[in-house]
Structures are given as structure tokens and as C-alpha cells.
Structure 1
Amino acid sequence: MEEGYIKLIFGLKLKQIRTDRNLSLFGLSKLSGLSKSYLNEIENGKKYPKPDKIAILSEKLDVPYDQMVSLKLDKNLAPIGNLLKSKILKEIPLELFGIKESNLIDIVANAPVKVNAFISTIIEIAQNYNFSRESFYLASVRSFQEANNNYFDDLEQSVLKFSKAYQIDLDSRLSSKELEEILIEEFGYKINENELLKYEALGSLRSVLVPKTKTLLLTNEIDEAQRTFIYAKELAYNFLGIKERLYTFPWIKFDTFDQVLNNFYASYFAGALVIPKARLTEQLSSVFAKNTFDTALFLQAINSFNASPESFYQRLTNILPKEFNIQNLFFLRFTHKAKSDQFHLKKELHLSHQHSPHANETNEHYCRRWVSIKMLKDIRKSKNEHEFDIQISNYEDDGMKYLVFSSATKDPFKQDYYRSITIGLLLNKQLERKVKFLDDPKIKTQNVGVTCERCAIKDCKVRKAPAIALEKKAKNIKIEKIVEELNQRFGS
């Protein structure tokens, strides 16, 4: 372990021994002959005492010397010790969130028992909900996105520099051929489209990079938009000088938080290159300026870029907060298998608000009135490659409404699988100022819940489960009321 952690563990042990003996710092100072300020620095992990000082503390506190210097903590402090011994604080770039590692250490040192209880609680929750290290890392990146309104100007500027350096016309539809040429000529890549097909187990992979020879293995099942995005990500890694990275798309596993964060950076760069900010802003302004929603114009905007609907919706989460000051929004991606009644939330992002659609990992039934669920049902029945709809979702329990856009497509890599991409914008004064078609009578308003188990909508024809969570809550309120009445009757 690093020296700082060794100091902290010794300080934690000393503080615990002192408090177990009901000694104040003043009392320990008087007992040991060591100054109060010196002892305080030891307990806070700032200093590690010399052997003669440890010997004095060992004698006065009646604790064996070996036990004092051992890095082993008792069960009350063991979780903190495990945290400090692990690499977790090094793997997460705390500075991204404005946190200094020394601040965390100070918190641990000043309230070790309470911090330990908190850590134990987090660990227990993680275990009960099967919360893996991967989930923790992905949640950290998502929080980082949300903290920055999912807009990163340094990456936007890097795209502009790249386009200038390699003479990419951001006003025109980008092609994979343009990017392939740069990868090969400038960065020495070799493209292989035959190898991945030989391995059935790799059916879900779209690309694998062999870094030693810069050989990019592609499956020939990808379409033009997917190929363009893969090339754009590879260019991002090279142009941004990223070394700590993932080599498969989609990723199989990752070893460090930096790999996850850099994967996000590369994806952001790729999205900004394929869907330039200026063009998208202009198109959205045209859509929003109309008094009625122009479906054809919105779909035209999607189709004008060499990108999938998912990439387009993801890009909206960058541009709407920055260019239109529409900061209260959510993004959802669902997957669905034909002949199944299961709808799985695979990706989500919530900006500025803890929006009502939060409910993943609860094993409950998502509201079948959501347009994102409806789109999956529509694409399943349709012969179209892309289904789109728009609705106003009214969450009566929260008193909030959202303007919701949703698209559904077939999964190109899994037969009989579908996906829907959804973005919801909170209806408020800001949205009313920016979007002129909110009163369009053609836009259906739908009362919705989050999950059936928590929904109070009466006589819902598409309900898949009773509102057991609400029933339990109502039962508890009734019990509390009766107990309160009994206290009033018999308390005087």
C-alpha cells in the first residue's frame, strides 16, 4: 500500500483504541507525554510516529507493539481498510467530480465508525442488487455526463480541429470511405472484413482492433452508419492520443475506470464528427419553429446524417442543453424480443432532474403506455426499418409532463430483437419558449406511470401487474393512522 494509506490505517487504529478507553486527545497527550497536536496529526493520517513514539503509545495504552503497527483492522474498521487497500480510489478520477482524495481521507479519519457503516451499507446494497464493478464504473460515467449536462466543449473543439486538419466538410453527409482513408493513410490501419465471420461466438461483436499491427477486424454485417461510427471512434482514439482504451466494440470487459471514461470520450467525439453541432442545431431550430409538429421534417433531420437513430438521439442530449437551454431531459434505450412480453431498459441518462422513468433493476413491469414501449410493439408488427412517434406523457403522481420522441428499429445483430430510443423533454416555461408546436392537437397526451406495480391509473387496459407497491404503501398509511388514533384515545 502507499505510504499515505499506511499512515491513515495507523491513525484509525490509534483513534479507535483511544476512544475504546474513553480517552480524549488531551487525556492521551497527558498519559503519553506526546503533544495533542502531534497525536491529532497521527490520527488524521498526516504523520506516522517513529518506533520510539509507537513504543510509548503501546505501553501507555497496553496494546502490543506488533498489534499497533499491524495493517490488520478489526471487524468494525475492516471495510474501510479494504477500501483503502483496493485500487478503487485510484481507478476513479475523483478530480472529474471536483473531489480530492485527501478530502475523502479526512472524512474517513474524522468519523471512521460512521463512514464504515456507510461503506458497509453500500456494499450490502451492491450485493443484494448484484451491483458489479462494471455497473459502478458505468454509473460513475453517467453521473459525470449528468454533472456536465452531457456537453463537453473540449471534445467539440477537437472535432473542429480534426475536420480542419483533414479537410472534412462538416456541412456535408460524412461517408465511411472518407474516414477509412484517413485511418489507413495517416494512422497505418489495416482493415479486415473476413476474419470475424469465422467465429460464431463473436456474433455480437462489430469490431476488434489488434493494436500491435493496427488491424481493425470488422464484421460484414454492419451497415454504412455503423461502419462510419466505428471508424470515427478509432480516429478519436488516435487524434486525442488516448492509450488506455478498449479494443472491442461493443466492449466485452474492462479493467480500469479510465478505459470506460475514454470509451465515452471516443464515442462522444465520433457522434460530434458524424452529427456536427452547427447542422443539427439549424435543423432542430426549423422543427421547433413550426406551430405544428412536422414529422417528415424531423425524420428528414435524422436521415440527413450518416448515423443510426440511436446516435441521433444521443446527440440530442448534447445539443439541446447547450444550444437551446433545454436541460431537463431523459434518454432511454429499450430492447425487446419478438413473442415476448419483456421490455428491458438497457441505457438511460437523466439531465438536471431525477425523472420519473427511473425504475430499472426493479424487476417490475414498465408502463405499457410509454411511447417507447408502443414503438417496440409497432416495429414488431411492421415491415418498416424505422418506426417513429411522439406523445406528451403526463405523470399525474409527480405533476410533470414530458414531450417524448421515440424511434424503434430492428436489431441488426440479433434476429427477432428490436430496440427503441427515446428522449423526453420536461414541459416547462423554457420548453414553451423554444418549441412552438406544444399545443398541436395531433400530439396525443397520455396519462402514464412508471411501472404497473407503482401506478395509480384506474382501469388501465394494458396493465400487466397489480399495483402491489401502492397497495402496500396504502396499507402502511392506514396502519399508521389507526395507531395514531389509538394513541389519542388512550394517551390521556
Structure 2
Amino acid sequence: MQEEYIKLIFGLKLKQIRTSKDLSLFKLSKLTGLSKSYLNEIEKGKKYPKTDKIVALADAFEVPYDELVSLKLDKNLAPVAEILQSNLLQEIPLDIFGIEERDLIEIISNAPMKVNAFISTLIEIGNNYNLTKESFFLASLRSFQEANDNYFPEIEKAAKNFLREYMVDADECVSNESIEEILKEEYHYTIAYKDFNDFGFKDLAKLRSIFIKEKKLLYINITSDKDQQRFILAKELGYNYLNLTERLYTFSWASFETFDQLLNNFYASYFAGALLLPEEKLLEDMRELFNLEEHDLSKFQEILGKYTESPETIYQRMTNLLPKHFNIRDLFFLRLSTKKGSNSFKLTKELHLNQQQSPQANETDEHYCRRWVSLNVLKKLETEEDGVHETSAQISIYPYNNNQKYYVISSGTKDPFNPDYLRSVTIGVLYKSAQRKIKFMNDSTIPIREVAVTCENCGMKDCSERAAEPFRFEKDIRNKRLNVIINDFIKEQSKLEISN
């Protein structure tokens, strides 16, 4: 166990015994001859006393020396000790939120009982909702993006520097061939386009790329389309140009060992987006689009589709630029998937800036509202024989969530690696914060729908799209009604007592 944590556990034990004996730091100082400031630093886990000082403390407390130096804490503090002895604090990405490990340790030492209750609560929530280390790190990454409005100027600058250094014609879109050439010449890559089905492992066919670090060999699944291949190549440039050594080796990733791998994967992906959809060019096109008076989805596809045919790349990139350049910070991004013929939908990716938008992922297997445009584009896509891309938009109003109103646009596509699956990507912006910036949002022809988050929490009457009964909503209503009755009863009884 690390020396820092040994200090902290000793400090926790010292403080616990001192307070149980109703001794102030001043009184303990008088009994032991140790200064008050020195004792304070011991209790905060900053110092570990020498043997003679521990003897003095044991004598003052009238406890055996061995008991005082033991790393065992009583049952009230045992969970804290377990956390400190594990690698949890090392695994939590404290640094990206500007938190020093020492600060957290001091919080623990100042209020160990409350921290213990908090830790126990997290453990219980994690057990009940199957919270894994992987999902914890993904949630940390989302929080990191949200804390920075999903805009990272240092990566934007790096992408611009790269374009200046390597791309001769800045007016042209970055081509697959040009990226390949740079990877081969500058970073000594070998790039092989293969049908992953030929590798003899069925599950590998679902991947788009595999990187063999020792050989600098990049396998790209030949079944992926041109845009997907370009993003993979640009992402490899990001890893190398940004000097990101701790990385993931497949796309899409199957698993990760450390938070740095996940974070660097995000940085490399961000760099790829900034390279393929350059900030200044895309901003010019977004302004042109937002100045349109009429709501025309074909214009949306025409203006933004010249960069890539991948809606996800476009929507993700817009989440970078909308907060920074248009002051539209109330937004969300969703990616959902479904199997053809199924009435089940899975939320596989999400981002919520300002952390107040609905919907958000639920862990209770509830049914997402079938009025979402995100689900409707998937239904439309499934009915079209030759459909490869479906885009739709609506204004969504959440009557059971403070009447929040969003403009939401969603694109559905077939999953190229799972022919039986469809997926949609969606971006939604809070109406009141975006309507001045995006003129076409005021077009009266845009469909308006009342929506909910899940059927189970929805109180809409006679909803033809309902996929489940509103038992959570009804339970909440019953509880509220009961509280009113209880309060009225208490008031009545109070009056009777007073009159008697």
C-alpha cells in the first residue's frame, strides 16, 4: 500500500480515538508534548510520526501501541480504509477535473463518516445498476466534455497547424490518398485493406480497423465505406501528431484498460473531426444554413453533406462548434440502434451540455418515447427498400419536464457491419436559446410533437404510440395525492387539539 495512504489511515485512526475521548487538539498537545500544528498535520495524513511520538500518543490515549499503528479501522470507517487500500483513487481521472489527489484525501480526513456514507451509497448504486469501471470512465469522459462545452481549442489549433504543414491546397477536402501518404512517409505505417471475414474470426468482421503497434501495421476493413476509411486514417494521424502513446488498437473499441486510453481515443477522434471538417469552413456553411428562413432538410444535407456522408461525424462536429461560436450550450447528442423488426431501442452514445436536457440513458429497461424523431427515422428507414439514409426533424415539447422545447434533427442509416441493425444520430437544441441564431427554426411548417422520456414516466392520455403502461407516472401521482391528504389531515388534527 502506498505510503500516502498509510499516513492517512493513521491520521483517521488518531482523529477517531481523540474525538471518542473528547480531547481537543490543544488538550492532546498538552498530554503528549507534541505541537498542535504537528498533530493536525498527522490527522490530515500529511505526516507519519516516529516511534517515540507514537508511544507518547498511545500513552495519552491509554491504548496499546500495536492497536494504534494497526491499519485496521473500526466498522464505521472500514469502507473508507478499503477504498484507500485499493487502486480506486488512482483509477479515478481526478486530474482532468483539476482535482488533486491530496485534496480528496484531506476531504476524507475532515469528514470520514460522511465520506464513508457517500462511498457506501456509490457502491450500492453501482451494484444495483451494474455500474462497471468501463461505464464509470465513459461517464467521466462525458462530464469532461460537458465541463469544456465539448470544445478543445488546443486540438483545433493542432488540426489547423497540421493542415498548414502538410496540405498544399487548403480549399480542397482532405483525401484518403493524402492521409495515407503522410502516415506512410512521416510515421512509417503499412496500411492493408482486408476483408475481416477472411481472418477466420466472426467477431473481427464487426470491426472497422485493427492496429498492430509492433509493426505499425494498420488493417482497415475493406467493407467500410470511403468516409469511414477516411475517418480511421485521420484518427491515426491524430494519435501520432498529438503524441498520444497510450491508445486503443481497434475501431470501434472492444474494451480499454485505463482512462487515458479512452481519453486519448476521444482526442484522436476530435482531431480527425477537426481535420476533415475544418472549423472556419464549417462555420461559414453553418452560418449560411442558419440564415435560411425556410426549414429545408435538403439544404441541410446539401451544405453539410459536401464534407462527408456520415451524419454522425457532422452532428458530432456541430456539438463542438455550436456552444463556442453560436452560444448554443443547451444541446444534446444521441445515437440509438435497433434490430430490424424489433420494437426495442438501445441508446449507445449520448452527450448533454448543461446537463439538463432530456432524454438521458436509463438503466431500468424502460421504453423510450415512441414520439421521438430519433425512433421515427428508424421506422421510416426500415420500410424503405432502398433506403440508406433518412433525415427528419421536429420541435419536441416535454410537457412533464417543465415544458422544455427543443428543435431536434435526426438521421437514420443502416449499420454497415450489422446488416440486421439500423442506427440513428440526433442533435437537439433548446428552442429559446437557439431560435435567434437559427432562423429556420421559426418556420411554422416544422412538425411539433409532445414527447416524454419513457413511456413508464409519461402521463399522456390516449397515446397511440405507447409501448408500456405509465406505472412510474401513476405511482408518483398517487404519492403526491397521499402527501396532500396527509398534510390536510395533520392540519385538521392540529386545529382540533388547539380548540380542545
Structure 1 unaligned spans of 5+: none
Question: What is the CA-CA distance between 1:359 and the residue it aligns to?
Answer: 4.1
Show the counterpart of 2:486.
483
State the distance in 1 between where 2:82 and 2:205 align.
39
| 8 A Cα contact 1:338 1:416, kept in partner | yes
Question: What is the CA-CA distance between 1:271 and the residue it aligns to?
Answer: 0.8
Show the counterpart of 1:408.
412
Read off the aligned partner of 1:408 and give its amino acid letter. G
State the distance in 2 between where 1:427 and 1:33 align.
67
Read off the aligned partner of 1:314 and give its amino acid letter. Q
Change (3 A) 1:74 1:168: farther
Read off the aligned partner of 2:35 and give its amino acid letter. S
Cα deviation code 1:193-222 (max 9, x no counterpart): 337332212122111111111011222111
Cα deviation code 1:360-389 (max 9, x no counterpart): 223111110110010111111112110001
State the distance in 1 between where 2:297 and 2:131 align.
40
Helix, strand or coil for the counterpart of 1:434? coil
Read off the aligned partner of 2:82 and give its amino acid letter. N
Pick from 346, 364, 385 the counterpart of residue 388 of structure 2. Answer: 385
State the distance in 2 between where 1:286 and 1:195 align.
41
Cα deviation code 1:69-100 (max 9, x no counterpart): 23333332222223223333333442321222
Q: How does 1:272-351 map to 2 (within 5 A)?
A: 272-351=274-353
Show the counterpart of 2:253.
251
Q: How does 1:361-372 map to 2 (within 5 A)?
A: 361-372=363-374
Is the counterpart of residue 101 in structure 1 residue 68 in structure 2?
no
Q: How does 1:18-33 map to 2 (within 5 A)?
A: 18-33=18-33
Is the counterpart of residue 394 in structure 1 residue 397 in structure 2?
yes
State the distance in 1 between where 2:436 and 2:335 align.
28
Read off the aligned partner of 1:399 and give its amino acid letter. N
Cα deviation code 1:36-74 (max 9, x no counterpart): 222111101121110011112223323332232233333
Show the counterpart of 2:59.
59
Pick from 422, 426, 439 the counterpart of residue 422 of structure 1. Answer: 426
Helix, strand or coil for the counterpart of 1:150? coil
Is the counterpart of residue 127 in structure 1 residue 127 in structure 2?
yes
Q: Percent identity?
A: 53
Cα deviation code 1:160-207 (max 9, x no counterpart): 111111125443222211111111111111112337332212122111
| 8 A Cα contact 1:274 1:307, kept in partner | no
Cα deviation code 1:6-56 (max 9, x no counterpart): 211110111112222333323323333323222111101121110011112
Q: How does 1:162-311 map to 2 (within 5 A)?
A: 162-167=162-167, 169-194=169-194, 196-197=196-197, 198=199, 199-311=201-313
Read off the aligned partner of 2:428 and give its amino acid letter. G
Pick from 465, 469, 474 the counterpart of residue 472 of structure 2. Answer: 469
| 8 A Cα contact 2:44 2:106, kept in partner | yes
| 8 A Cα contact 1:226 1:307, kept in partner | no
Helix, strand or coil for the counterpart of 1:437? helix
Question: What is the CA-CA distance between 1:307 and the residue it aligns to?
Answer: 5.0
Show the counterpart of 2:447.
444
State the distance in 2 between where 1:464 and 1:111 align.
46
State the distance in 1 between where 2:237 and 2:321 align.
22
Helix, strand or coil for the counterpart of 2:294? coil
State the distance in 1 between where 2:6 and 2:254 align.
35
Read off the aligned partner of 2:333 and give its amino acid letter. F
Change (3 A) 1:77 1:170: farther
Show the counterpart of 1:460.
463
State the distance in 1 between where 2:87 and 2:420 align.
42
| 8 A Cα contact 1:338 1:380, kept in partner | yes
Read off the aligned partner of 1:89 and give its amino acid letter. L
| 8 A Cα contact 1:229 1:307, kept in partner | no
State the distance in 2 between where 1:361 and 1:324 align.
33
CA RMSD of aligned residues (A): 1.6
TM-score (norm 1): 0.96
State the distance in 2 between where 1:8 and 1:63 align.
19
| 8 A Cα contact 2:435 2:441, kept in partner | yes
Helix, strand or coil for the counterpart of 1:203? helix
Cα deviation code 1:94-135 (max 9, x no counterpart): 232122222111111100111111011111101110010111
State the distance in 2 between where 1:86 and 1:263 align.
26
The aligned length equals 491
- After the TM superposition, which segments of 4 or more aligned residues of structure 1 sit over 4 Å from their partners? none
State the distance in 2 between where 1:459 and 1:335 align.
27
Change (3 A) 1:204 1:376: same
Question: What is the CA-CA distance between 1:303 and the residue it aligns to?
Answer: 1.9
| 8 A Cα contact 2:332 2:350, kept in partner | yes
State the distance in 2 between where 1:349 and 1:85 align.
33
Helix, strand or coil for the counterpart of 2:75? coil
Read off the aligned partner of 1:125 and give its amino acid letter. I
Is the counterpart of residue 80 in structure 1 residue 80 in structure 2?
yes
